[in-house]
Structure 1
Amino acid sequence: MIIKTDDGGRWTVPQLDELRRRGHEVVAVLPPGSEGQLRKALHDRGIDVVQSGFDFRFRPTPATAAGLLRLRGQLRALAPDVLHYHLYASALAARIASVGLPARRVHMVPGPLFLESPLIRTVERVLCRRDEVVISGSRHTATLYRAIGMPDSRVVPVHYGTDVEHFSPPSAAYRAACRDAFGLADTTFTACMVAYVYPPKWLTHRGRGIKGHDILLTAWRRFRRDVPDARLILLGGGFDAAGEAYRQQLMRRFGVTGERGRGGVDWHESTLDVRDCYAAADVSVSPSLSENHGAAREAGAMGVPSIVSDAGALPETVDPSSGWLVPRDDVDALVAALHEAHAEFLAGTLRHRGALSRELVVDRFAEGPAAAAVADVLERVVRR
């Protein structure tokens, strides 16, 4: 398994666990670096970790070529039956470094953003043919790969799994404690958005932040004119330095401060347990411009209904009984959905919608079946 991060990408762990349970030998190739959360989780399981000879940064320098050659030497020495890679930089590196090697190549795609760039989509139309199979993390991404010419038989949609035991509906006492910690009264309607802040990218979405924080904050201002005691909890710092700079820019633009509840918005960095946020919330909001399934899976697993945009695979996370689907970048529609959720909160029916959200997530996204489906694909590739 090759991935360009040693901190993120923890969705790979259940897949590796399932492969080992079936008796297969697993090695993870991670970038050189510090002890990130993914690296620690693999070490705790006794999974072999190799520090990649390539740092997964593509620059027009001799160092890039030298790094790819070092990675090629490592792959030749490991002699795997299958190379399974996640994230686009990992896919590029694995495809280049494995030219002429006998390993089968399987690309698992966690999200559609890179395919929304016309330049990258044109390149990927050619490069994806080096993959025996593309495992798309959603039906939406599978459709995009088929549209650029990947044969149907070589595109397999498998959802990324959610640990529905770890993310489960809170007890009344846990919910009360979390709401008290956030300073929320029983009568305070509370929305949450759990997402890192990614900086705008010039290749996609006209330089807009893809998670839609600006859209939600604009809608929230309007919503609170009618519901002045409502609270919004934002959980997620900048993904990197540029992301944090963009977050600070948004905080200044919308008057969000470090004071609890100032302007009806609390914005916490990514140090809290996300379950505390969901336990306190009445509705989760995912207003993204580009997304796979996002936070809606974890929110739904905890019995929190979601308002999601129609971006990417987000529509796969709700149905009319469990949540709300609104057009992306449509502030009016988002305000209307918030009002509908608030009306159900007042009527006492919103929790039932949350229970239906839990049923949907367990049925579609449970971690065990998803990991088994990935292992099935890898075994079929070897048999072929």
Structure 2
Amino acid sequence: MRRRLRIAVLLKTNSGGMWILPQVTELRRRGHEVVVVLPPGSGRLTAELTRHGFDVLGSPFDFRFRPDPATLRGLWRLRRLVRRLRPDVLHYHLYASALAARVATLGLPVRRVHMVAGPLFLESPLIRPVERLLWRLDHVTICGTAHTSGLYGALGCPPARRPVATYGVDPAHFAAPRTTAPDDPAGAGRDEVRAKSRAELGIDADAFLVVMVAYVYPPKRLAHRGRAIKGHDVLLAAWQTFRAGHPRAHLLLVGAGWTAAGEAYRRDLVQRYGVATDPSVTWLESLADVRPCHRAADLSVSPSLSEGHGAVLEASAMGVPSIVSDAGGLPETVEESSGWVVPRGDPAALAAALATAHREFAAGRLAAWGERARQRALRLFDNRTSAVRVADVIEETGSAGHR
């Protein structure tokens, strides 16, 4: 009989991180007691968790590591909170949360499960040697991609302590448009939905529409030589080359700057690449729902320098094929019949891949690529299956602490 566990989930954001919802829901379904600790205040994640009946507590630590007494006080208060909650398992996501959890719970009788969303911190020449030591404080490190699991393996972490469970995608929320003919998965019904979405976005119905969905992060000092990791600059440079020979193509960028520094960098990109005066580029800074953009698109692009699985899974689930860079876990999201992989940071290679995808579009074959992408997403990246895997690991880890 399964032992009932008390599980505390720690996350450094109360707005992002919506991917924990299926995980905590599965844990509660199994009869475990779940409490979530987030930064205090309102936020989308806090609201959703509360709406679903989860206990949400405000973190006494702000997840900012500064060389001053406030950091020590915050960590001590977080330690007191964990001692009061007395969880069997402390489950945390994102690197700042991991650092806080490890330090605050040293010596406490709690099992620590770290789940890694993206590999960026492992790509830093300063952080990687530190993590070679610190991963040993985690009883298990659940890796969101096989790539991340490999990076931890290179740091000496044995396979049993670095299982892979993707964050996945919600196949019900990111569903491909329904068609009018059951035997025509990429036919008239999709065309009707696409035309409606394009009309709402102000994009021509017959254009070859490429979409990139990603926040704009500022350049990182500690990784990738100070370059911004999402690759907006790579795509915009490639687009200028590609668009010169494809006048009926349109690029839709979706995502504002993350923090003031990210927005300043986004404005710099707009100026540097003449986006404001280029009729072939539309940049939407913020959308509550990105699904209309995927419904309108022919192709998705993820040109990141560092990434987990990114927005590719959402596009794939909605029947849109992708071009991805060879960074992080992105190559895991496509196969030869559902997308293209190009070298990261290479505008020329990306422009060539865009031209290849356009030839498939012009020949009427690109929708079939999208259907294969959808089938792959449903088969490998359903977040309900991932939630079961995460719950299995947490149960096994929590139970091991009582044997």
Q: Same fold (TM over 0.5)?
A: yes
**What is the match of residue 397 of structure 2?**
381
Q: What does residue 5 of structure 2 align with?
A: none
What per-residue deviation string (whole Å, max 9, x for no partner) do you get for residues 118-161 of structure 1? Answer: 11011111111011100000000000001001111111111112
CA distance in 1, matches of 2:310, 2:287: 18
Query: What's the counterpart of residue 4 of structure 2?
Result: none
How far apart in 1 are the matches of 2:226 and 2:279?
A: 27
Q: 1:29 aligns to what? A: 37
- Tell me the residue number matched to 1:267: 283
2:183 maps to which residue? none
Give the aligned partner of residue 174 of structure 2. Answer: 167
**What letter is aligned with 1:213?**
H
**What number of residue pairs does the alignment pair up?**
380
Q: Which residue of 1 aligns with 2:111?
A: 104
What is the root-mean-square deviation of aligned Cα atoms in Å? 0.9
Aligned-partner SS, 1:54: coil
Give me the TM-score of the superposition, normalised by structure 1: 0.98
Aligned partners of 2:246, 2:393: CA distance in 1, in Å? Answer: 50
Q: TM-score, normalised by structure 2?
A: 0.93
Deviation, structure 1 residue 169: 1.1
Residue 335 of structure 1 corresponds to which residue in structure 2? 351
Question: Aligned match of 2:221 in 190, 197, 202?
Answer: 202
Q: How much has 1:272 moved relative to structure 2?
A: 4.6
Deviation per residue, 1:261-300 (Å, 9 max, x gap): x341000012252101111110000000000001110000
Unpaired runs of 5+ residues, structure 2, are 1-8, 179-189
Structure 2 SS opposite 1:203: coil
Deviations 1:306-363 (A, max 9, x none): 0000000000000000000111111111111101111111111000000000000001
Separation in 1 of the partners of 2:275 and 2:94? 33
> What displacement does 1:182 show?
2.3
* Structure 1 counterpart SS, 2:239: helix
Contact between 2:252 and 2:281, CA under 8 Å: does it hold in 1?
yes
Runs of 4+ deviating beyond 6 Å:
none
Partners of 1:4 and 1:31 within 8 A in 2: yes
Which amino acid in structure 1 is aligned with residue 210 of structure 2? A
Secondary structure of the residue that 2:163 maps to in structure 1? strand
1:196–1:270 contact (8 Å) kept in structure 2:
no
Rounded Cα–Cα distance in structure 1 between residues aligned with 2:386 and 2:394: 13
The Cα of 1:59 is off from its aligned counterpart by 0.1
The CA deviation at 1:186 is 3.1
Aligned-partner SS, 1:8 = coil
Q: 1:297 aligns with which of 297, 300, 313?
A: 313
Take 1:170 and 1:183, find their aligned partners in 2: how far apart are those partners?
19
**Could you tell me which residue of structure 2 aligns to residue 51 of structure 1?**
58
Q: Residues 19-78 of structure 1: CA distance to partner in whole angstroms, max 9, x if unpaired? A: 00000000001112x311100011001101111111110000000000000000000000
The percentage of counterpart residues that share the same residue type is 58
Structure 2: distance between partners of 1:67 and 1:184: 50
1:94/1:124 Cα in 2 relative to 1: closer, same or farther (>3 Å)? Answer: same
Contact 1:255–1:263 (8 Å) recurs in 2: no
Task: State whether residues 357 and 366 of structure 2, in contact with CA within 8 Å, keep that contact through their aligned partners in structure 1.
Answer: yes
Equivalent pair of 2:199/2:205 in contact (CA under 8 Å): no
